[in-house]
Amino acid sequence: MKRRVAILISGRGSNMAALIKAAALEDYPAKIALVISNRADAAGLEKAATGGIATVLVESRPFGKDRAAFEAELQRVLDQHGIELICLAGFMRLFTAGFVQRWHGRMLNIHPSLLPSFPGLDPHGQALRAGVKISGATVHFVIPETDAGPILMQGAVAVSDHDTEETLAERVLEVEHRIYPDALRLLAEGGVRLEDGVCKTATGAGSGNFLISPLAG
């Protein structure tokens, strides 16, 4: 039985589209059952509807600073659709500790840096100012602290001396589109466990190839 997934968005839904595309495969262990946005102008809502995915608007603005009331309505919608797993994809809203604990081990987020480096806003600018030679993206479980949950999967790209925030973001986005569906697959298949705040996976190490930047000689 495929796990029922909700994707939460606030904008264009780029990673949402990658997840929907992956889940269309017959052997994918999850079904994108619902896309929820907290913004009526989120372009991803139309993309999801065009792809035949149910969409719901739960606007956050009317709730003001009352996050608990917003989350109660959000939870009602999730329950109504029988959602088992949540993927955040550009969802620009912080959750209370209570909501996060309710979805502990079942809610993923993706961040465009190799966490724990460069959390929060402007990760590409942070990376370039630090002069790193490798950057990338991280899929992690959501905990009350921002961008600090157990890391499920990471993908890396080389950073060029000529990179701008825009060019780096473009390459990292390609990595995001690859690793988010793979991470959700692992979780939906039951190939993930959390031990003392660390994520362990049944698949073990990756390809065994190194990504080294810059190359010498």
Question: What confidence category does residue 188 fall into, taking pLDDT thresholds of 50, 70 and 90?
Answer: very high
- Span 117-161, pLDDT tens digits: 999 999 999 999 999 999 999 999 999 999 999 999 999 999 999
Question: Which residues neighbour 142 within 8 Å (Cβ) at sequence distance 6 or greater?
Answer: 86, 88, 95, 100, 103, 107, 108, 109, 149
Instruction: Mark whether 81 is an active-site residue.
Output: no
| d(C-alpha 137, C-alpha 13), whole Å | 16
Joined tokens for residue 36: 């929820």
Residue among 81, 104, 111, 140 flagged as catalytic: 111
| d(C-alpha 143, C-alpha 131), whole Å | 29
Which residue reads 């009350």 in tokens?
144
Question: What confidence category does residue 208 fall into, taking pLDDT thresholds of 50, 70 and 90?
Answer: low
Among residues 125, 129, 127, the alpha carbon closest in space to that of 158 is found at 127
pLDDT in the model for residue 207? 57
Question: Which residues neighbour 215 within 8 Å (Cβ) at sequence distance 6 or greater?
Answer: none
- Span 78-91, pLDDT tens digits: 999 999 999 999 99
Helices in 103-164 by DSSP H: which ranges? 123-130
| Domains of the chain (ranges, CATH numbers) | 3-195 (3.40.50.170)
Which residue reads 């690793």 in tokens?
179
pLDDT in the model for residue 202? 77
pTM for this predicted structure: 0.94
| d(C-alpha 15, C-alpha 138), whole Å | 13
